[in-house]
Copies of this chain bind each other. A is one copy, B any other.
Amino acid sequence: MATDLGATRGDGIFESLLAVDGVPRKVGAHLDRLAKSARIMDLDIPSAESWQRAIATAVAEHPAVEELVIKLLVTRGVEGAQRPTAWVQAEPAGPTGRRQRTEGVDILLLDRGYDSNLAERAPWLLLGAKTLSYAVNMAALRYAKANGADDVIFTSTDGLVLEGPTSTVLMATERDGVKTLVTPLLENGILPGTSQGALFKAAADAGWQLGYGPLEPKHLFDADAVWLVSSIRLLAPVKSIDGKAIPVSLTMTEELTKLLAEGSRD
Q: Which residues of A contact B (CB under 8 A)?
A: 2-12, 14, 41-42, 71, 73, 75-76, 87, 89, 110-115, 118, 121-126, 129, 131-140, 142-143, 152, 157
Contacts and interface: CB of A to CB of B under 8 A. Distances in A.
**Of A4, A73, A112, most B-chain CB atoms within 10 Å:** A112
B135 A110 contact: no
Given A2-B89, A133-B133, A135-B131, A114 B114 contact: yes
Contacts of A129: 135
A9 B142 CA distance: 14
Contact of A111 (B7, B122, B134): B122
Given A113-B114, A143-B123, A135 B89 contact: no
A10 B110 contact: no
A256 to B, nearest CB: 28
A144 to B, nearest CB: 9
A125 B138 contact: no
